Amino acid sequence: MAKRRVRWDRIALVAIPLFVIILLIATQCTGKSNQNQESSAELSVQSIADTAPTLNQGEFVVVIDAGHGGYDGGSTAQGVTRLEKDDNLRLALKMKEKLSTYQGVTILMTRETDEFIGLQERCDIANHAGADLFVSLHRNCADVGYGVEVWVDNAEDRIDNLLAEYILELLEDVGISRNRGKKYGFRGVSDGGADNHTDSYYVNANTDMPSCLVELGFLTAEQDNINFDTHLEEYAEALARAVIELGTDEGMYHPASLQ
Ligand SMILES: [Zn+2]
């Protein structure tokens, strides 16, 4: 009996400090591991339910919109076999890749495959997520014309304008055939005339957050197509950087606070 009592004391002597140490280590780690468990559990529930992502507070949310898709090939012109929808998607996927290298950015894509997505649906994706910025990617078409232009809403929101300016500047740094500048409204209506603010591109007019529509060169201009193919990586990086720099300057993106 005495032997047994001594053994229990010895066990207690070892076990109690050990238990305290384990407890100390556990309290140091639980914060992080609980968070991880919760977020992974949340993610799996989300993917099963296929619901919209729950966004973290303070997360910088950027929507990349690859114009057209599916039966809507986009810009067309006689003799042009290259499809705008394909170029838009290539650029959008590259931009996603570049943007995903920045910490603390949630990227939402309106499409990642060759499928038709309605204009309102594109806006809904951004509006429901409460996105910070919306960038629509397109390519132009015309009998005559070359270069890059960025369209913003006629409402002339300050950040819309900045977004377009940052994008144009960084694309120009990569190299473009011509900077056609920032344009207001809708090509078919106001043709960018600042005094004729009658209409805007649908995605610019119907998204709740700052947005712009990039026309990255003309499918009808050979040099623009060469530029697009040779500088795809750099153009995508420029677009990602424009978004990051604007987000930082306007206080939407706080990478330091996420570490
Ligand atoms: Zn287009």
Comparing C-alpha atoms, which of 177, 254, 211 is closest to residue 64? 211
The alpha carbon of 74 and the centre of ligand 1 are apart by a number of angstroms equal to 5
User: For 53-75, how does the pLDDT look when each residue is reduced to its tens digit (9 = 90+)?
Assistant: 555 567 999 999 999 999 999 98
The alpha carbon of 147 and the centre of ligand 1 are apart by a number of angstroms equal to 15
User: For 18-31, how does the pLDDT look when each residue is reduced to its tens digit (9 = 90+)?
Assistant: 665 554 445 443 43
Q: Please list, residue by residue across 222-250, b when 16 or more beta carbons sit within 10 angstroms of its beta carbon and e when fewer do.
A: eebbebbeebbebbbbbbbbbbbbbbeee
The alpha carbon of 36 and the centre of ligand 1 are apart by a number of angstroms equal to 41
From residue 177, alpha-carbon distances to 25, 83, 225, 227 in Å are 60, 20, 10, 8
- Domain 61-258, classified CATH 3.40.630.40, yes or no: yes
pTM of the model: 0.76
DSSP state of 50: T
The alpha carbon of 128 and the centre of ligand 1 are apart by a number of angstroms equal to 23
User: For 106-125, how does the pLDDT look when each residue is reduced to its tens digit (9 = 90+)?
Assistant: 999 999 999 999 999 999 99
Domain residue spans of the chain? 1-49, 61-258
Of the chain, the percentage scoring pLDDT greater than 70 comes to 72
Comparing C-alpha atoms, which of 188, 136, 189, 184 is closest to residue 161? 184
The alpha carbon of 11 and the centre of ligand 1 are apart by a number of angstroms equal to 75
The alpha carbon of 75 and the centre of ligand 1 are apart by a number of angstroms equal to 6
Residue 51 pLDDT > 60:
no
The alpha carbon of 142 and the centre of ligand 1 are apart by a number of angstroms equal to 12
By DSSP bridging, strand 179-184 and strand 148-152 are parallel
What phi and psi values does residue 149 have, to the nearest 5 degrees? Answer: -140, 155
**Residues that place a CB less than 5 A from ion ligand 1:** 67, 74, 138
Q: What is the pLDDT of residue 185?
A: 86
The alpha carbon of 136 and the centre of ligand 1 are apart by a number of angstroms equal to 9
The alpha carbon of 114 and the centre of ligand 1 are apart by a number of angstroms equal to 14
The alpha carbon of 66 and the centre of ligand 1 are apart by a number of angstroms equal to 9
